Amino acid sequence: MQEFDRATTVLPSPFYRVTVKALVMNDKQQLLVGVNKKGAYELPGGGWEHGETLEECLARELQEEFGVRVMRIGQPICFWAHPHRDWQYWLLRIGVPVRLKDDTFTPGDGLVKAQFVSQDEFIRLNLETYEGNVKDQIDKIWSMKE
C-alpha cells in the first residue's frame, strides 16, 4: 500500500468563493448579460460579501455593474462550481431569478455594454472563463419562473 506523504502532497484548497448571479429575463425570454472591456460576456452578479443577505448582494452588484435597481428577487434555481483560473480555490455560483425596476442600463464596474440574448445566442456567446460551466444550466435558466 502506498503511503500518503502530507509534506509533499499538494491538495486543492477546500475554500469556495461564493458568488451570486442575477438571472434577468425580459418579456421576450432573453437573458441579460454584460460585455466587458475584453469583449467577453458575463452574467451580472459577483461575490457574496460577509454579512450581506443574498438580496443585498444582488442589489449591490446590479447597481455597481448596470446602475439598475431590483424590484423582486426569487429563490435560487441553479448552482454550478468550477476551479478559479489559478486553481487555488473553487468558485460556487448561485443563479437567482431577478426582476428589475427598469431597463435603463449604465454599465460600470468593468462592463461596457448590457444586452439581452436569446437562448440560442447565449449558447454561442464567448463567455468570460470565470463563468465556468454555466451553459450546463441553460435548461433551468430558460424554464425559470419568477
- pLDDT tens for 65-102 read 999 999 999 999 999 888 777 667 788 999 999 999 98
pLDDT in tens, 15-27: 788 999 999 999 9
**Which domains can be identified in the chain, with CATH numbers?**
24-142 (3.90.79.10)
pLDDT at 4: 45
Average pLDDT over residues 103-113: 90
pLDDT at 1 over 50: no
Angle (CA) 37 47 58, round 5°: 90
**What whole-number distance in Å separates Cα of residue 35 and Cα of residue 1?**
52
pTM listed for this prediction: 0.85
Q: What is the 3-state secondary structure (H, E, C) of the chain?
A: CCCCCCCCCCCCCCCEEEEEEEECECCCCCEEEEEECCCCEECCEEECCCCCCHHHHHHHHHHHHHCCCEEEECCCCEEEEEECCCCCCEEEEEEEEEEECCCCCCCCCCEEEEEEECHHHHHHCCECHHHCCHHHHHHHHHCCCC
